[in-house]
Amino acid sequence: MKWNSILLSVLVTTLLAWPMDARAAAVMRGDVNGDGDVSIADVTTLIDHLLGGITGVNFDAADVNRDGSVSIADVTMLIDFLLGGIELPPDEEEPQETFTVNGVAFVMVHVEGGTFTMGATIEQGNDPSSREKPAHQVTVSSFSIGQTEVTQELWQAVMGSNPSYFAGNQHPVERVSWEDCQQFIATLNQLTDGHFRLPTEAEWEFAARGGIMSMGFKYSGSDDLTTVGWYSYNDSWDLRGSGVHGTHDVATRMPNELDLFDMSGNVHEWVQDWYGDYGVDPLHDPTGPSVGAERVYRGGNWYFDEWFCRVSFRNSVTPSYTSHGIGLRLAL
C-alpha cells in the first residue's frame, strides 16, 4: 500500500504540472467528486477512495473504464483522459427504435458511424488466425443493428415455421443458412415495408467493438467473457453427461457499450459478405468481394471456447450451410 501511495502521488504531481488547456472538456464519467466537472480534483478523490480515505463515491462516475469495478486502472484512464491521451465515449445510450411484425416486437439500435481498426488488434492476443490479419483501418457510415440476435419467436412470426433445434421463443433462431436468412429478410421487408438486411462484416465488427463508444475489449462488452457471452465454459456442455446444453434466451448476459447483447457467444451470426482476405489499405464502408464461394459468419457460439468469441474472429462456409450454432442479427 505504501508503494501504491508513492506511485499515485507521483502521477498526481505530474498531472498538476500539465497545462490546463491540454485537458479535455467535462463529462459526467470521471466526475468522482460530483462537482459537475472532471479535473485533477477527481483524480485525488478517486485515489483517496482507493486508499480507504473516503467512501461513498459515485460508482458510475468512478468506474471510468466501465469494467464493473473501481481500481487503479480507473485512475490511469482518468489521468490519460485529462492529459489528452484518450477520449472517453459518452455515457448516453445510442437511440433505439422498436418494430413490430405480426405481434412480435424487436429493437434496432442506432450506431453512429466512425473509424476503427478491424482485425487482429493487440487486445485480441497472440494467436489470431491468418484470416484476421492484417489489422487495417476501416470507416463505416451510421447504421442500425438488432439489439439481439433474431429470436425464434420473430422468425416464426415472419416465416410461419421454426427450424431451430433448441426450442425456445426467446432463444436465437439457428439451423438457418445464409440463403434462408435472405428469404426471411425479404419476407420481413414485405410485411413491414422496411429495408432490413444483414450487416456487412465491417459493420458487425464495429458494433461488436462498441462503435465510437468502444473501450477496447477483447470480447463484445468485456475482457471477461463469462459476463457477456454464453460459450463452452458457462454452458453446461462442459459438464459432460448433464444433458443441459444449447442456446440460451437472448439478452441474459451483459450488453456491450452500445447496449447490444450476445455479440460474443450464444450463436454465430451470418453477415452479408463473401469471404475474402484482408488487405492493408484503409477502407470506407467495405462490402467484401463481389463474388465468392463462402459467406462470412462472426461472433462465437454456445459450444465453442473463448478464442472463437473474440470480436475479430471470422470464419466462412457455403451459403447453404446450416448448424445448431449459426443464426443472424438484422441491420438497417
Lowest mean pLDDT among 73-77, 197-201, 242-246, 286-290: 242-246
Buried/exposed code over 17-40 (b: 16+ C-beta within 10 A; e: otherwise): eeeeeebeeebebbbbbeeeebbb
Q: Give residue 31's pLDDT band: very low, low, confident or very high (50, 70, 90).
A: confident
* Cβ atoms of residues 166 and 249 within 8 Å: no
What nine digits make up the cell of 61? Answer: 462516475
pLDDT band at 89; cut points 50, 70, 90: low
More confident residue, 66 or 244: 66
Which bin fits 131, alpha (ψ -120 to 50), beta or left (φ > 0)? alpha
Most distant CA atoms of the chain, gap in Å? 67
- Considering only residues 103 and 61, tell me which one the structure prediction assigns the higher pLDDT: 103
Looking at the predicted structure, is the pLDDT value of residue 20 above 60? no
pLDDT in tens, 197-245: 999 999 999 999 999 999 999 999 999 999 999 998 776 444 444 455 7
- pLDDT tens per residue, range 252-266: 999 999 999 999 999
At 35 the pLDDT is: 77
Give the closest residue to 295 by CA, choosing from 313, 276, 323: 276
pLDDT in tens, 103-119: 999 999 999 999 999 99
- Is residue 3 over pLDDT 90? no
pLDDT at residue 323 tops 90: yes
> For 43-70, what is the mean pLDDT?
82
Which residues are bridge partners to 197 per DSSP?
Answer: 331
CA distance 50 to 54: 8
- On the question of pLDDT at 27 being above 70, the answer is no
Q: What domains lie within the chain, and their CATH numbers?
A: 2-82 (1.10.1330.10), 96-328 (3.90.1580.10)
On the question of pLDDT at 249 being above 80, the answer is yes
Answer whether 269's CB lies under 8 Å from 204's CB: yes
pLDDT for residue 271: 98
**Mean pLDDT, to the nearest integer, of 76-93?**
71
Give the integer Cα–Cα distance in Å for 133 and 118: 9
Q: Which residues pair with 317 in a beta bridge?
A: 295
Q: What is the 3-state secondary structure (H, E, C) of 38-52?
A: CCHHHHHHHHHHHCC
Average pLDDT score, the chain: 87
Better-predicted residue by pLDDT, 17 or 300: 300
The lowest-confidence range among 27-41, 122-136, 173-187 is 27-41
- The partner residues of 97 in beta bridges, in order of sequence, read 108
Chain centre to alpha carbon of residue 243? 30
pLDDT given for residue 19 in this prediction:
37
Arithmetic mean of pLDDT, 147-166: 98
Cβ atoms of residues 294 and 275 within 8 Å: yes
Q: Is the peptide bond before 282 cis (omega within 30 degrees of 0)?
A: no
- In a 13 Å sphere around the CA of 20, the CA atoms on its Cβ side amount to 4
Average pLDDT of the residues in 165-192: 97
